[in-house]
Structure 1
Amino acid sequence: MPDSSSGERAPLRLTRRGRAVLVAFAAAFTLAALWLDGGTGAFAGGRAQHHGPSGHVRSTVVEPGDTLWRIATDSDPGADPRVTVQRIIDLNGLGGDPTVQPGQRLVLPAG
């Protein structure tokens, strides 16, 4: 047993039960996310904007030829596209590579 006065701590180990709890939590989280998505994924249809239960969540599916700039100007025509593009990048965790692919679902900022 490490000496607590030296500041060393034993490495964290997961028991079989702990791993099972983590897997169950991850599965429940994934199912909840899919349920909240409500079928608005890539197979739900093209460029339509989908509203969740609160009406504030919008998303779009990237179509061939789409760019972040075009998506930004379509989603909020009155706003500065540079700001909207950055908000889309931030919301979707695109970070270092803000390239979008056809079929990709993007969350859009609330107008």
Structure 2
Amino acid sequence: MSTISLHAPVARTHAPVRLTTRGKLVLFAAALAAMFALAVAMGSTTAATSDAGAAVQTTEVTVQPGETLWQIAGAANPGGDQRETVDQIMKLNALESASGLQIGHKLAVPVYSE
């Protein structure tokens, strides 16, 4: 004798996930914490110390009419990397750009030994 099942298979449907206001706040706080942790992990690697940095020997150069920072860097370090020299001069003088020189402006320029 065979047994016949009278019950048809039941298809299970899942209701869409609905977040309450509290659930939304928890999700937002978790995302914010994850971003903060990522920012701390990937942040700046600069560390302040009490050790003094190496002193850079400099000379003072007065900007002449038509003179550019690149020309000053080339004259200061003729055999060196001019881009690096420009960068050092900009850092020494807290210049935001290489194009902001004024005639008569006095610049601290590193002294390079040949």
TM-score (norm: length of structure 2): 0.46
- Does 1 or 2 have the higher relative contact order (CA < 8 Å, sep 6+)? 2
Structure number, greater radius of gyration:
2
TM-score (norm: length of structure 1): 0.47
